[in-house]
A and B are shown apart, each in its own frame.
Chain A
Amino acid sequence: MKKDYLKEFPRELEDEAIYIIREAAAQFDRPAILFSGGKDSITLVRLAQKAFYPGKVPFPLVHIDTGHNFPETITFRDKLVAATGLELIIGLVQDDIDAKRVAEETGKFASRNILQTTTLLRTIESLKLDACLGGARRDEEKARAKERVFSVRDDFGQWDAKNQRPELFDYLNGRIRPGENVRVFPISNWTELDVWNYIREEKLEIPSIYYSHERPVIERNGVLWPYSDFIYKDADEVVQTKTVRFRTVGDMSCTAALASTASTLEEIIEEVIGTSVSERGSRLDDQRSEAAMEARKAVGYF
């Protein structure tokens, strides 16, 4: 009995998200959905389809591509684009590396996570986007818990955490000056469990890496790293094959795998209900310091 109730999606959250997405469409000239191929952005696409039915979703998808994606995610992305007929715009981190606007990190824990911000801001500017819809949730991280649903970024893409507009009742104030833009977070109030319940109730397709599979991994400080060309391996580190799945979809270089045999949505939901580790506990990018997320957001990160 107890667990079944936790497996019910609170419908009120869908009504709220659709309201926010419609406000974004109404208040901005050039909005876009930031699409990573992860479960949260897949949920956003579904909500946007519902918000404008039977009309078309009036936004393109923008993918900031680090080049270090799981190949399964890219396959999934292209399939979703073909099925929905949405426009896909890709911003390549490699272009910024080639142009020497950013430099690759080196060493054992090198990742392109930080580099994405430059590509994201350049893409926003070149497309003249005034709003970017993202799938960030407040339960993910303590700095995100403080962010508004309509989060204003200045001309340099920066987030001023101490000077945010108050958001009262359902009112969303998206008035901005030229050059500024707004990040819009329709599923701010959803938790990881809400997203999974929604995916199950809506029968959404998700990339295969969310389900249990066999994969070569390196065990490092008790954490399982997916082995790929993008990861540095010490001579004494051993690649072994394990049965794993992923809780979040980030880069192959900063997303840890979870030893799991959950191969259906039902089993994943059981696992999420029973877990004692948070979702972003598997993201190396968040573990760098206590304020890693706030520091990245301040300069323009998602």
Chain B
Amino acid sequence: MDVFRIATAGSVDDGKSTLIGRLLYETNSITTDKLEAIERASQRKGIGFLDLSLLTDGLVAEREQGITIDVAHIYFNTPKRKFIIADSPGHVEYTRNMITGASRAQTSVILVDARKGIIEQTHRHYFIANLLRIPYVIVCVNKMDLVDYAEAAFAKIKSDFLKLSARLPNTQQQIVVIPVSSLHGDNLTARSAKMPWYNGDPLLTLLELLPVPAARGAFRMPVQLAIRPRNESHHDYRGYAGRIASGKITVGDAITVLPSGRSSRVTAIYKNDQQQPVAYDRESVTLTIADDIDISRGDMLVRNAELPGLKSEHKAFICWMDSQALDPGKSYLIQHGTQRVKAKVTHVNFIQDTATLQQVVPAAALKMNEIAQVNFKTAKPLPADAYCDNPANGTFILIDEFTNNTVAVGFFE
């Protein structure tokens, strides 16, 4: 069974919770006890209708204030797929949560209010989906009932959105625009009779039919740990465990260990007690190799035929995620794969305004929720790929050595 990961982002009034609630409701994914609990809570709050946001706003503070603060994960199945929705808030002060929610998504669902059209928030959501190179973007033009299901209103927004998408760098994304009314369930799970002019699929059908995006990039496997049982049946066994970030490995392949540069050959690929001739991206495996060379956590295994560059000076987009601003004089820990080394930002090239899509010369230190392009150096060379070539090996996080917080996420240029 496939797992398909969706990112949604939005604010209180754009109908996002209603849309998700509808999808769950119509796929029989809300159980009666949860529905009754929402009913009781809606009544207590004095709301006349079923407030489906209570389903996803899991924290007391969120329910009290009626806002989504943190990313929630929502699960549902149809007979075709298992879906995981990462639902995040949409305002500018939650940009970091949006990026978190979007970080593993295969599809971004962006809501646009049919009455308001493309607004600042649409720019931000789309910029993030574009920066992260999410393979599919589905734009739901919502509240079509409030514009009398008029084709002209939809066509204007669709054309505005496509103009917006032409301004951004990643043109590989597949974009689909759908007119919906989440309140009335139009074009969510079935074609709406009220919009006969729309010939496309309803949202759920689309989510079920979109092909799982093909993985990109060469074989990269960050080593998590070495497995040395030293028991009687496996006295000399030495395996290297990790999850394959990208690419494919076959028994017999010549490999190189980075950063040391030593080479060997794969003798077996284990998954539990089973051996397999080949393994692909996203699989957790243990490899054994022909030679007794030093390999430990932090190293990366690559195929000799597909060597990445090893660099200590980098250029990347980063999103700052900590309440303490970036301190240019301070060194941070960078984690790339399973490697952690010291890193120092040497220059902030520009700050990206996600509302106007302009690049701004930085006036002050990089603050929480700001996205910037920076140059930085690392204490050891890293076997990184550019994010556009290999998304799985093109990201990193920065950690504050003193607070231990994850302070930034980055994408190698």
Binding site for B on A (CB under 8 A): 1-3, 5-6, 8-10, 12-16, 18-19, 22-23, 25-26, 49-56, 138-139, 141-146, 161-162, 164-171, 173, 175-177, 188-189, 191, 193-194, 275-278, 281, 290-291, 294
Contact of B31 among A26, A167, A281, A291 (CB under 8 A): A281
Residue of B nearest to A193 (CB): B77
B234, A277: Cβ atoms under 8 Å? no
* Alpha-carbon separation in the docked complex, A191 to B282 (Å): 20
* Alpha-carbon separation in the docked complex, A138 to B224 (Å): 25
Residues of A within 8 A of B71 (CB): 146
14 interchain pairs (CB within 8 A)?
A15-B243, A15-B283, A53-B227, A54-B234, A56-B231, A139-B75, A143-B59, A162-B61, A166-B409, A175-B404, A277-B32, A278-B31, A281-B33, A294-B60
Residues of A within 8 A of B273 (CB): 53-54
A25, B103: Cβ atoms under 8 Å? no
* Alpha-carbon separation in the docked complex, A137 to B32 (Å): 20
Given contacts A5-B79, A12-B3, contact A171 B335 (CB under 8 A): yes
Given contacts A22-B224, A23-B224, A166-B100, contact A146 B59 (CB under 8 A): yes
How far in angstroms is the closest Cβ of chain A from B264?
Answer: 20
- Does B357 belong to the interface (CB within 8 Å)? no
* Alpha-carbon separation in the docked complex, A56 to B104 (Å): 31
20 more contacts with CB within 8 A, not counting A26-B225, A169-B392, are: A19-B224, A22-B224, A25-B225, A51-B284, A53-B272, A54-B237, A55-B234, A142-B58, A145-B58, A162-B69, A162-B70, A166-B100, A166-B321, A168-B99, A169-B409, A170-B245, A171-B395, A173-B404, A173-B406, A277-B32
A188, B59: Cβ atoms under 8 Å? no
Which of A161, A188, A193 has the most C-beta atoms of chain B within 10 angstroms of its own C-beta? A161
- Does B390 belong to the interface (CB within 8 Å)? no
CB-contacts of B17-55 with A (<8 A): 28, 31-34, 37, 41, 55
Residues of A within 8 A of B28 (CB): 276
Residues of A within 8 A of B409 (CB): 166, 168-169
Residues of B within 8 A of A193 (CB): 77
B265-289 CB mask vs A (1 if < 8 Å, else 0) is 0000011110000000011101000
* Alpha-carbon separation in the docked complex, A196 to B136 (Å): 31
* Alpha-carbon separation in the docked complex, A8 to B77 (Å): 12
Residues of B within 8 A of A53 (CB): 227, 270, 272-273, 286
Residue of B nearest to A275 (CB): B31
Residues of B within 8 A of A51 (CB): 241, 284
Residues of B within 8 A of A277 (CB): 31-33
Residues of B within 8 A of A19 (CB): 224, 243, 284
Residue of B nearest to A139 (CB): B75
Residues of B within 8 A of A189 (CB): 73, 75, 84
- Does B309 belong to the interface (CB within 8 Å)? no
How far in angstroms is the closest Cβ of chain B from A247?
Answer: 12
Residues of B within 8 A of A54 (CB): 227, 229, 231, 233-234, 237, 239, 273
- Does B97 belong to the interface (CB within 8 Å)? yes
Closest 4 CB pairs of A and B: A142-B58, A281-B33, A175-B404, A55-B229
B225, A22: Cβ atoms under 8 Å? yes
- Does B399 belong to the interface (CB within 8 Å)? yes
Residues of A within 8 A of B228 (CB): 55
Residues of A within 8 A of B315 (CB): none
Number of interface residues of B (CB under 8 A): 70
* Alpha-carbon separation in the docked complex, A277 to B63 (Å): 23
CB-contacts of B341-396 with A (<8 A): 392, 395
Contact of A8 among B1, B70, B104, B241 (CB under 8 A): B1
B59, A166: Cβ atoms under 8 Å? no
* Alpha-carbon separation in the docked complex, A131 to B71 (Å): 23
Residues of A within 8 A of B61 (CB): 161-162
* Alpha-carbon separation in the docked complex, A290 to B51 (Å): 14
Residues of B within 8 A of A175 (CB): 399, 404
- Does B118 belong to the interface (CB within 8 Å)? no
B58, A294: Cβ atoms under 8 Å? yes
CB-contacts of B60-101 with A (<8 A): 60-61, 63, 69-75, 77, 79-80, 82, 84, 96-97, 99-100
A55, B227: Cβ atoms under 8 Å? yes
- Does B2 belong to the interface (CB within 8 Å)? yes
B226-248 CB mask vs A (1 if < 8 Å, else 0) is 01110101100101011101000
Residues of B within 8 A of A291 (CB): 60
Residues of A within 8 A of B58 (CB): 141-146, 294
Residue of B nearest to A282 (CB): B33
Residue of B nearest to A142 (CB): B58
- Does B338 belong to the interface (CB within 8 Å)? yes
How far in angstroms is the closest Cβ of chain B from A171?
Answer: 5
- Does B128 belong to the interface (CB within 8 Å)? no
* Alpha-carbon separation in the docked complex, A276 to B29 (Å): 9
How far in angstroms is the closest Cβ of chain A from B400?
Answer: 9
How far in angstroms is the closest Cβ of chain B from A154?
Answer: 12
* Alpha-carbon separation in the docked complex, A166 to B80 (Å): 31
* Alpha-carbon separation in the docked complex, A2 to B27 (Å): 13
A177, B241: Cβ atoms under 8 Å? no
Residue of B nearest to A176 (CB): B404
A168, B100: Cβ atoms under 8 Å? yes
Contact of B399 among A16, A18, A173 (CB under 8 A): A173
